[in-house]
Each structure stands twice: as C-alpha cells, then as structure tokens.
Amino acid sequence: MYNILICDDEPDIRSALKIYLSSEGYGIFEAENGSQALDIIAKEEISLLLMDVMMPVMDGITALSKLRKTSNIPVILLTAKSQDFDKVSGLNAGADDYITKPFVPVEVIARVRSQLRRYKRLGGATEPEERDSKLCNGGIEYDDKSKTVTVDGEPVSLTPTEMQLLKFFLENLDCVFSPQEIYRKVWNDTPFGSENTVTVHIRHLREKIEINPARPDYLKVSWGHGYKMEKK
C-alpha cells in the first residue's frame, strides 16, 4: 500500500483529500505545515507528498527545497488558480506536478496515480527480462535497472520526473519534440497549459547534467519546434 502525506493548513482541504484518496486504498498521513511534513517524511515510509504552497511556520516551497536535499519522492503542489509564480517556483524547487484549487476528485486521483506509477517504475520495481538496462550518450549513463544516473562518472540525483524525462530523451536521440509532445509522453497526460512545466523541468535537468546549463552540450533547443538531446 502506498502512503500519501497531505500537507495543508486548512482542515477542510485535508479532510476532502483524505476522503478522495483513502477511498482508493491509499494510506494517509496529515500535516499542517512544511515543518511537520518534513518530520513525518523522516519517520514514515511516504510514497507521495501533496502539499499546499502558502502555509504558516514553513511554506511549501521552503519545505520542498529542504526535502529535495534528501528525498526524491513525488511531490504535487496545491496552488491557487491565479498563482502562476507559485507554480513556476514550485517546479524550480523540484515539484513533479501541481493541482490548482478548487480541484475535482477525478483530477486529484488521476495525477496521484500518474506520479505513483512513475515512482514505482523509476524508484525500485524491476521489470522482468530487461534488455540492455543502460542508456548512454557521451558522458551520460542511465541505468534503468538500478535507477541511477552518472555524468562523467559522477552520480547525479534526479527526481522521478527528471529521470523519466532524461530516459525519454536518451531513447530518442537527435529527435525534436514540442513541449506538448514531451508532456504527453513523459507525464502521460493531456498537454493543456503544459509548456511552463516542461520548460522548467528541462532547465532543472540541464542544471544537473550540463557543465554549463546556459550553453548546453546535450539538451538543445530547436527554435520554433521544441527540444532534442544531441547524440554524442
């Protein structure tokens, strides 16, 4: 059973999310602020974090930045409809996805399932009869069996979404994809308003695999078309 941590300072929202998710068979933990969430994650086996951005004591962005120093569990942020800055800040801090308030149960459940599928696929569950488990390009090596990434022999820590994004590009070297195509294939979701999400995750990935992210050797922009990973 997957355990989901719901972090929001509003009891009604925590209660609603608990009802939605517990009915799907998930174990539920609750926190009122980012500090409590970090304490729970340190003590319990949490598979996914649903977290509000604006909270007292410790806000969601601060908590997420601290969490990413030690954990790669999927994080879905809860943001107000008009708070585009919060969405971008959250993605920059390492969020995997976001849900805007007010939300509907079907969207919450679908996004949680999507992130947990990716986490299971990338975080330890091995697939039978793997072909060659390693994908390489230049100094980048991705081991699909151990779910590890090295760049020029040095280990690199990626979130599940960043790892899935890297794997996608490594499997499609020199192929150009639009942000909408990337979102559809990597996030496995309808690419409505997806460009910011893809752009931020690619920038994050560049910061981790490129020597100079401002002048990338691997992840290139094809102006007017999209992105590609250049074969080395």
What's CA 53's distance to the chain center, in Å?
A: 16
Give the span between the Cα atoms of 133 and 204, in whole angstroms.
Answer: 24
**Residues in CB range of 151: below 8 A, 6 or more apart:** 139, 140, 141, 208, 209
Tell me the two tokens of residue 33. 């602020």
Longest dimension (CA), the chain: 52
Supply the pLDDT for residue 132.
Answer: 59
Identify residue 40 by its one-letter amino acid code. Answer: I
Give pLDDT, residue 229.
96
* More confident call, 119 vs 3: 3
Place of tokens 């994908």: 135
Q: What is the pLDDT of residues 7-23, one digit of tens each?
A: 999 999 999 999 999 99
Taking 90 as the threshold, does the pLDDT of residue 40 lie above it? yes
Q: Encode pLDDT of 113-151 as tens digits.
A: 888 887 776 653 233 344 457 899 989 999 988 889 999
68-72, Cβ contacts within 8 angstroms, sequence gap of 24 or more: 68/93, 68/94, 68/159, 71/41, 72/123, 72/157, 72/158, 72/159, 72/160
Contacts of 40 (CB under 8 A, 6+ apart): 5, 29, 31, 46
pLDDT for 131 equals 42
CA-nearest of 74, 63, 90 to 161 is 74
- Read off the pTM: 0.61
For 152-191, write each residue's pLDDT tens digit: 888 999 988 999 999 999 999 999 999 999 998 998 887 6
pLDDT digits (tens, 9 = 90+) for 52-107: 999 999 999 999 999 998 888 999 999 876 666 666 788 888 888 888 888 888 88
Output the CA angle 40-46-48, nearest 5 degrees: 115
pLDDT tens, position by position, 68-83:
988 889 999 998 766 6
Domains of the chain: 3-123 (3.40.50.2300), 134-229 (1.10.10.10)
